[in-house]
Structures are given as C-alpha cells and as structure tokens.
C-alpha cells in the first residue's frame, strides 16, 4: 500500500534533536535540526548539488551547511551561499516540510506544506500534564508499520507474548472488549475485571489483591497510537487507581522498516527513579524483546510465502485492524 502523504507523522522525541539528524519517513529522507532559534526545521536530506546528506553537515548562522562542498541553505531550503560560483548562488532549493512540536514529539507533514494544519495533530493533552512522569524510548522494527499497528490494536496477545511483563493470565477468555470508530481512527476498549494485577502492576500495586484493568487504545490515521491504561481496586472507581497514559508513534520508514517511538506516562511514584527503571525495563523487554521479534517473524513469513501467510480476523482487535486498513484505503483514494 502506498503511504498517505497529507498527514502528520511522528519523527521522534523533541529532546533528541539539536544538531542535524536524519529521519526516513515514508521512504523520504528528512533532515531535522534546530536553527539556533530553538525552532525545529525539516528539509529533504538531499543536497541539490551532488545529493549528499545535509544531516551530515552542521548549522551555521541559522543555515544548514552541506558537508561536501559547503553550500548553505536557509530555513526555507533556499541556497544562500555557494562559494563555487561568482555572484548570487542561483536558484538551488531543497524541499522544506512542515514541522510541529507537540507532546514532546516532533511531527512532520509529509505532503504539501501548504495543506498542513496543526489542528490535525493527534489530540493527547494528558501527556503534557506536569503532574505525570513521562519516559520516552525508541526501537526499530524490521516490518511494515501496519503489522505493528495490528499488534497494538489487538492487545489480546498480552497474556501469551507478554506473560512475564504486561499480560494477565486468563484475560483472553474473561475480558470484555469493544471496538469503535473515532474521528480519524479506530479505538478498542478492553476491560479485565476482578483479576490478579499483571506482572508490571503487581510490582507497583499494593492496595488490593484483585484489580480491574482497562486499556483504551486508539489508532489515529495513519501512524499514531494513543493508549490509556489504568488499574484500580476490583469494583472500585478509576480515581482510586493508577494510570499509564502512553503515546506510540508507529512511523513507516520504508515498506519493511518501522521506527517505533513510545512515551509512557504515569501518575504514581512521580519522579521516583527506581520506579522509572522498573517501568522502562518492562517496556523495553515487552516492546523490544517480545513484540519486535514476533512482528519481524510475521513479516518474514508474509514475504516468503504470501499465499499461505494470510491474515485472518477473529479477535475484536483484528476487527479494528481491518477497519483501520479500510479507513486508510479510503484516505489514500481521496488523496
């Protein structure tokens, strides 16, 4: 499937960007950098002279300088210095992309910048709540981004794949789930009532033996996942419990590689470094050592024998994935 162009894609965490860095998004190389004003800028990472990567260069006086022969480009991508020609540098220009910063993430609009609209950024203000601790991570998955979105929309894999980290034994048979359409996506709400806390919750939860756990996950087209996870005393109110709001950016790099950025907030043990270590260790184990290899294995099988590697839908999450794919098809057709 081709990539949707006129849309915001997460391009990583804002704190990680200062000096020029390359990101490949939807098969296009982008250089991200701050131009000295703290504002972030995004240009195509291809110098119009001999196709060098501008991301290997540096910023000087707000302009990005190509490391190969020293051409300089301003914020708009216009060449403003070319030491190899007499007089003005001529009409060389690098394509500029619209860029935004929100929820600690950088977002790049991969289509026409004139069509970009910050009102279309995914809406997840809870991550900006100063009373939360938010931790951010990243991994690369050698699979198409839709397989990663399938994984997230169908959290029924938790009990099996994440038995030692995030899964709840017996959840597949006892949970209640429903899928619903949202403004620009699909959501799945899963509730597991009156069960033991999952292994991560068990490390942090002391109020009761039995808990109600809920995960509300929303895919916002094309590549953002908003996740609200909480646990509370069995039969208790949400306000008695703990909350893990999460933002997952599932960003297609190429057809077969995905940048997976995750931000995990929590409203308990705020600022406690030992709790941060527990949460991040668990997230890394779950996403990098459990999700990543199985998703990559699915991709290998799909590539090797597509006629046999057929994706069948029978969980609520599968149904949501199917809806997400047809929604994306419709958006692509409109584009």
User: What span, in angstroms and rounded, lies between the C-alpha atoms of 69 and 297?
Assistant: 43
Taking CB under 6 A as the rule, does residue 180 contact ligand FES? no
Which is closer to ligand FES, CB of 69 or CB of 238?
A: 69
Of 24, 28, 34, 52, the one binding ligand FES (CB under 6 A) is 52
Taking CB under 6 A as the rule, does residue 203 contact ligand FES? no
Contacting range for ligand FES; rule: CB under 6 A; set: 49-57, 200-208, 235-243, 304-312: 49-57
- Beta partners for residue 201, in sequence order: none
Of 18, 22, 39, 50, the one binding ligand FES (CB under 6 A) is 50
Which is closer to ligand FES, CB of 96 or CB of 174?
A: 96
Sheet holding 185-195, edge to edge: 133-141, 257-266, 242-254, 224-233, 211-220, 185-195, 176-182
Size of the chain, expressed as the number of residues it contains: 335
Choose from Fe ion, ligand FES, none: what does 291 bind? Cβ within 5-8 Å by kind: Fe ion
User: What span, in angstroms and rounded, lies between the C-alpha atoms of 9 and 27?
Assistant: 12
Q: Do 280 and 262 contact (CB within 8 A), yes or no?
A: no
Give the CA distances from residue 79 to residues 59, 83, 118, 149, in Å, rounded to whole numbers and listed in that order: 13, 11, 27, 39
Q: Do 40 and 32 contact (CB within 8 A), yes or no?
A: yes
Q: Which of residues 8-47 bind ligand FES (CB under 6 A)?
A: 47
Of 66, 132, 161, 200, the one binding ligand FES (CB under 6 A) is 66
Number of residues that bind ligand FES (CB under 6 A): 9
User: What span, in angstroms and rounded, lies between the C-alpha atoms of 14 and 106?
Assistant: 5
User: What span, in angstroms and rounded, lies between the C-alpha atoms of 119 and 73?
Assistant: 29
Choose from ligand FES, Fe ion, none: what does 68 bind? Cβ within 5-8 Å by kind: ligand FES
For residue 69, the minimal CB distance to ligand FES (Å) is 3
Contacting range for ligand FES; rule: CB under 6 A; set: 24-32, 61-69, 234-242, 277-285: 61-69
Taking CB under 6 A as the rule, does residue 68 contact ligand FES? yes
Best CA proximity match to 58, nearest among 77, 39, 71: 71
For residue 1, the minimal CB distance to Fe ion (Å) is 23
Site of interaction with ligand FES (CB under 6 A)? 47, 49-50, 52, 66, 68-71
């Amino acid at each position: 499937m081709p990539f949707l162009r006129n849309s915001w894609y997460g391009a990583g965490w804002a704190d990680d960007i200062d000096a020029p860095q390359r990101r490949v998004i939807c098969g296009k190389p982008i250089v991200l950098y701050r131009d000295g004003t703290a504002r972030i800028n995004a240009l195509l990472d291809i110098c119009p002279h001999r196709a060098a990567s501008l991301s290997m260069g540096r910023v000087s006086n707000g302009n990005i300088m190509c490391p190969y022969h020293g051409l300089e480009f301003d914020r708009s991508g216009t060449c403003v210095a070319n030491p190899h020609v007499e007089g003005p540098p001529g009409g060389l220009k690098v394509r500029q992309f619209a860029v935004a910063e929100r929820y600690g993430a950088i977002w790049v609009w991969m289509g026409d910048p004139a069509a970009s609209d910050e009102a279309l950024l995914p809406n997840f203000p809870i991550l900006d709540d100063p009373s939360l601790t938010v931790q951010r991570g990243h991994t690369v998955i050698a699979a198409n981004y839709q397989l990663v979105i399938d994984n997230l929309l169908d959290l029924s894999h938790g009990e099996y794949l994440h038995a030692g980290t995030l899964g709840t034994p017996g959840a597949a048979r006892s949970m209640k789930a429903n899928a619903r359409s949202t403004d620009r996506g699909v959501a799945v709400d899963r509730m597991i009532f009156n069960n033991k806390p999952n292994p991560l919750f068990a490390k942090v939860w002391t109020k009761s033996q039995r808990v109600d756990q809920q995960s509300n996950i929303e895919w916002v087209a094309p590549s953002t996942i908003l996740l609200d996870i909480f646990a509370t005393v069995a039969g208790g109110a949400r306000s008695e419990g703990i909350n893990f709001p999460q933002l997952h950016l599932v960003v297609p790099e190429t057809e077969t590689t995905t940048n997976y950025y995750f931000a995990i907030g929590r409203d308990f043990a705020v600022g406690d470094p030992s709790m941060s270590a527990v949460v991040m260790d668990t997230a890394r184990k779950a996403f990098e050592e459990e999700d990543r290899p199985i998703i990559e294995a699915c991709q290998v099988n799909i590539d090797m024998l597509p006629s046999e590697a057929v994706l069948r839908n029978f969980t609520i999450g599968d149904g949501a994935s199917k809806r997400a794919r047809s929604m994306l098809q419709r958006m692509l057709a409109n584009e």
